[in-house]
Structure 1
Amino acid sequence: MVVSQSAFALMVFTDRLFMSKIDALHIAAALGGGVTFFVSIAFFMGVIAYATALVAQYYGSGQYAKCPRVITQGLIIALLCQPLLLIVALLAAELFRLMGHLPEQIALERQYYFVLMAGSFFTLVKTCIASYFSGIARTRVVMISDVSGVIINIPLSYALIFGVWGMPELGIRGAALGTVVATIFTIGVYAVFYFTRVHRLRFAVLESLVLDKGILRRYLRLGLPSGFELFVGAATFNLFLLLFQSYGINEGAAMAIVFNWDMLNYVPLVGMNIAVTSMIGRYVGAGDMARTNEVISAGFVLALGYSFILALVFIFFRWEMMQVFATPEDDFGPIAALGSQMMIGLATYVLADAVILIASGTLRGAGDTHWLMNTSMLIHALMLIGQVVIIKVLHYGPIASWWTFVIMLLSLALVYLSRLLGNTWRQPKRLKRMLQE
């Protein structure tokens, strides 16, 4: 799962690296448009991605035939949400203007955003089937499929951005189109594994293509809170990002570069989060709570060890890491200077990210989704209010805004850790209710 998620990070990383070869405005636009796309589909993605825990629980309890039925219900959800996503796209595209971005940046952001939204159905389908294979512990399938998609995406996006190898020169639209085409290709690779004879027979795949109201109700009961949690977290982060970009092009470019390096830490940790969710769900389904402690311990050792090493790299090589994204323009110095200061904050919160993702993966695998939703929504809302006051009311500088964001992540890590160390999520009665259809 770490390799799989890292492949996705590499895809986004290279897209923004290609944008830096044009100018700083394209870097900022790719970040703003990309994050707004994620926010637009975050609720539906959060619901559908709960398939990992749901499938793992059925798998752990030996109900193999119900595992692929979860995919069918997820695909139904993905299809039904398309009209809503069309409305969301038309409304969300106005955010760039409301946040005070420059007209030339808005034009680029909208191009990138609308191409990605046109492929949103494929993104949700890919999320659903990847969550299924994670849930049945076939993570090698996820790795092979996602890496294959990246191998297609990187040269295709390069060709479409710069107009080489006979492709049209589409600029920032080419980066988004390359992502959509690679996503469709990845779904095809997943389908090959899904319909193999051995898999069809063991999981009764062909008999699973039906509406199962019991599974669908349980999917929505536990998945909707996950969807709200992901949406609110992504929405507040996106609004913070757009507010921060209102400082100017240099500040927006600096943030885009810092978050590009942040992906080296965050995205592999998302892989660990998915793995923990799957393993916890499996042992909860099997009624073996003693093994959950081993999963939690292993998750923290791996995540904190990895993040600690990266924190040292971010501190000692921050200037050199900023220079990787040097633009052809002459004024990259101010961008690098601000970004190198922000890298210190990044090094501070990467360990908090490790705690948040391992703890939330554990709680999600055990079905504690309502608590995660309420807690995440509250802390992220407080962070956003603080950012509005700092940026728009008090008119403090970008460093003050950045450290407020860092403090929010540290606070969230402490709250999640406190819940994990308690016994509420382990109570047998709560687990029994959670497993009911």
Structure 2
Amino acid sequence: MITNSMQSDSVPTPGAKEVFALAWPMTLKAIFLHGTVVIDGFLLSALGEGALAAMGLAAALGGIVLGVIFAFSHAMQIRTAQAFGSGDAVYLKSALISGLAVSISIGIIGVSLILIWGGTLIAALAPSVAIATQAESYLAIFTIVIFGEAIGQSIASFFNGCSRSKLPLYGYLLSVPINVIASIALIHGYWGLPAYGVAGAAMGSALAITVQTLFWSALLLKTNGTLMRVVGWHNQTFVPTLKRHIRFALPIAATFVSATLATHVCSLIYANMSLNGFAAMTLIAPWNMLTGQVAMQWTQATGILVAQLLGKHTSEDVLDRFLSQAWKGAFVAAGLVAIIFLIMCLSLDWIYPDLELETRAILFGFLPILVIIQFPRATNAICGNTLRAAGDTVYVMHIFVWTQWAFRVPATAILVLYFNAPAFWILSLFLWEEVLKFPVFHRRLWRGDWKRSDVAA
């Protein structure tokens, strides 16, 4: 029997280099992913506010289904990493098929609900019949995107969990140019094609996602086609295996869905702020989303490697050494994001020259929060992804759900609706939320139970 000391000598400790190799393709992929609707919005802006309103309304409904798919694909990424680390082909096949089954089921249910109720919702929410008609056309075609992402995001998560994060990036490098070129042609009717307007943007996205999904599927068959010939399931038969996957994935998916809902609720509350404050909060949101990917993808890559190490039954001292190095890298990533925000705030006159002076002043006033928050956010994310990798998903879910719904959402409502607080104090609630998470995350991690987790159970 190999002792822990002998094991730690024989197992090389991955470090910041391995995390970086996994994280940078995931970061670029995340930026491309969030940019799909941004591309459509930019290309449709030439058609006027009505076209943008139609796309925004349809994308909001379709985005709900996509959000659930992405949430479950993140859980699949961790489950795949555990299976990959164990070296068990049956476990790896089970993670792949179970994840695909869950994601495709969500896509079918989501598209069915859209086809049944989407028209009614759009008619009730759209400001005019013309906008409702355009939104319905966009949404009907966008269902192809939902089906494609249901398959594609599962495959991408599988690749990430197997430490092949460059493969999903290649798919986006292929699909984004197709999306731009096809959307331009189909929106405006270039090169002899009909001009479909708003529907043309959805067609371009559908074409791009279809090509991307086919490309990833071909890569999956090439790299892991042998899994289809593996006999057996991780939990004896497929149904118990699927149930075990769902039990693991549900708390993770619930965490991401809760965060999305909390963000939307707070955004609705922001509409009651002063015009300048609301504009500042609206403008800072995409900056937070895009720049935050640098640190968030680093911590997700850390979680993937922790899951692989736990799958290999790695000794505790090797896990400690790896996490120590990953933690240092997370602080570097947080510092990089803080510098980006510093540059952004110092360049507001150049980036937003047409904004009112008061709005720019509010944005500049956000700087202390935007710099400070990166560090507790990064270290909390390291804890959260490490605990998830060890299967402690319910505890992590509780931390997120309680700090969002028992603190940030009601505090936002109180400060905005009753005290008419300045935008600075509204944004500071995100920092205080991280402060509340800090002790409960770190106490759980330092307890060390996660290092003895049997992730194959």
Query: Residues 292, 180 of structure 1: CA spacing in aligned structure 2 closer, same or farther, 3 A cutoff?
Result: farther
3-state SS in 1 of match to 2:192: coil
Q: Aligned-pair distance for 1:317?
A: 1.4
Match of 1:338 among 359, 384, 390: 359
Matches within 5 A, 1:142-153: 142-153=168-179
Higher alpha-carbon deviation: 43-52 or 217-226: 43-52
Say whether 1:156 aligns with 2:156: no
Say whether 1:266 aligns with 2:287: no
Say whether 1:367 aligns with 2:391: yes
Higher alpha-carbon deviation: 207-216 or 160-169: 207-216
Q: Aligned-pair distance for 1:286?
A: 1.9
Q: Give the counterpart letter for 1:306 in structure 2.
A: L
Matches within 5 A, 1:390-429: 393-394=417-418, 396=420, 400=423, 403-404=425-426, 406-424=427-445, 427-428=448-449
Higher alpha-carbon deviation: 118-127 or 343-352: 343-352
Q: Aligned-pair distance for 1:233?
A: 0.9
Say whether 1:205 aligns with 2:228: yes
Within 1, Cα distance between the matches of 2:446 and 2:151? 30
Decide whether the 8 Å contact of 2:57 with 2:126 is kept in 1: no
Larger Rg: 2
Match of 1:226 among 249, 252, 270: 252
Within 2, Cα distance between the matches of 1:153 and 1:422? 46
Within 1, Cα distance between the matches of 2:270 and 2:121? 13
Query: Residues 3, 183 of structure 1: CA spacing in aligned structure 2 closer, same or farther, 3 A cutoff?
Result: same
Query: Residues 388, 177 of structure 1: CA spacing in aligned structure 2 closer, same or farther, 3 A cutoff?
Result: farther
Normalised TM-score (structure 1)? 0.80
Matches within 5 A, 1:99-138: 102-103=127-128, 107=132, 112-113=138-139, 115-138=141-164
Within 1, Cα distance between the matches of 2:414 and 2:120? 22
Q: Give the counterpart letter for 1:293 in structure 2.
A: L
Within 1, Cα distance between the matches of 2:298 and 2:179? 24
Within 2, Cα distance between the matches of 1:375 and 1:315? 31
Higher alpha-carbon deviation: 135-144 or 357-366: 357-366
Query: Residues 55, 235 of structure 1: CA spacing in aligned structure 2 closer, same or farther, 3 A cutoff?
Result: same
Q: Aligned-pair distance for 1:214?
A: 4.3
Q: What does residue 318 of structure 1 align with?
A: 348
Q: Give the counterpart letter for 1:409 in structure 2.
A: F
Query: Residues 251, 149 of structure 1: CA spacing in aligned structure 2 closer, same or farther, 3 A cutoff?
Result: farther
3-state SS in 2 of match to 1:267: helix
Higher alpha-carbon deviation: 218-227 or 179-188: 179-188
Q: What does residue 327 of structure 1 align with?
A: none
Q: Where in structure 2 are there 5+ consecutive unaligned residues? A: 1-25
Residue deviations 1:228-283, cap 9 Å, x none? 11111111212333444577999887766543433430334443243222112111
Q: What does residue 432 of structure 1 align with?
A: 453
Query: Residues 390, 426 of structure 1: CA spacing in aligned structure 2 closer, same or farther, 3 A cutoff?
Result: closer
Decide whether the 8 Å contact of 1:48 with 1:128 is kept in 2: yes
Within 2, Cα distance between the matches of 1:359 and 1:25? 44
Within 2, Cα distance between the matches of 1:276 and 1:117? 33
Q: How many residues align?
A: 419
Q: Aligned-pair distance for 1:403?
A: 4.4
Matches within 5 A, 1:225-244: 225-244=251-270
Say whether 1:297 aligns with 2:321: no
Query: Residues 222, 378 of structure 1: CA spacing in aligned structure 2 closer, same or farther, 3 A cutoff?
Result: same
Say whether 1:307 aligns with 2:324: no
- CA RMSD of the aligned region, Å? 3.8
Q: Give the counterpart letter for 1:368 in structure 2.
A: D
Q: Give the counterpart letter for 2:200 in structure 1.
A: G
Q: Aligned-pair distance for 1:316?
A: 0.9
Say whether 1:58 aligns with 2:79: no
Q: Aligned-pair distance for 1:54?
A: 0.8
Query: Residues 119, 342 of structure 1: CA spacing in aligned structure 2 closer, same or farther, 3 A cutoff?
Result: same
Percent identity of the aligned residues?
A: 19
Within 2, Cα distance between the matches of 1:249 and 1:173? 32
Within 2, Cα distance between the matches of 1:390 and 1:375? 22
3-state SS in 2 of match to 1:205: helix
Within 2, Cα distance between the matches of 1:340 and 1:101? 34
Higher alpha-carbon deviation: 269-278 or 224-233: 269-278
Q: Where in structure 1 are there 5+ consecutive unaligned residues? A: 324-331
Within 2, Cα distance between the matches of 1:376 and 1:88? 28
Q: Aligned-pair distance for 1:38?
A: 3.0
Query: Residues 252, 306 of structure 1: CA spacing in aligned structure 2 closer, same or farther, 3 A cutoff?
Result: same
